[in-house]
């Protein structure tokens, strides 16, 4: 199965982000915060928040967003129907994509959202 990230996979509206932040459960890792909540519309969707607090340089913010989106794309097939919000932390600047994917898989396994197999050895790591 080809893993793709499509437009319907993304949270778009402020109200959707607010709903996840209010109703969700927060998990903290060294390079990211992950907030998840049940999905009211039976769709797996994700959003990334990376503001100027992360870095004033847009190049660094965009790289952090790309790393989060790519990790979500790789782990998407193992996830149940939930809504996720990913918030990168400054330490992510030094991480490679494999490190971000491993950390995200570990946080998702800690939450009980994915089984232990993909969490121990995430895809393409």
pLDDT in tens, 80-108: 999 999 999 999 999 999 999 999 999 99
The answer to whether the CB of 49 falls within 8 A of the CB of 117 is no
How much is the pTM? 0.90
Segment 25-33 mean pLDDT:
95
The pLDDT value recorded for residue 1 is 47
Q: How far is CA 123 from CA 43, 56, 112, in A?
A: 22, 32, 18
d(CA 91, CA 21): 22
The pLDDT value recorded for residue 119 is 67
pLDDT above 90 as % of the chain: 79
């Amino acid at each position: 199965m080809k893993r793709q990230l499509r437009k319907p996979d993304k949270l778009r509206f402020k109200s959707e982000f607010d709903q996840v932040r209010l109703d969700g459960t927060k998990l903290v890792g060294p390079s990211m915060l992950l907030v998840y909540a049940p999905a009211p519309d039976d769709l797996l969707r994700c959003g990334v928040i990376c503001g100027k607090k992360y870095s004033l340089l847009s190049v660094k913010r965009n790289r952090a967003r790309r790393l989060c989106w790519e990790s979500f794309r790789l782990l998407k097939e193992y996830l149940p129907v939930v809504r996720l919000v990913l918030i990168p932390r400054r330490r992510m600047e030094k991480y490679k994509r494999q490190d971000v994917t491993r950390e995200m898989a570990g946080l998702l396994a800690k939450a009980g959202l994915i089984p232990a197999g993909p969490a121990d050895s995430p895809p393409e790591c």
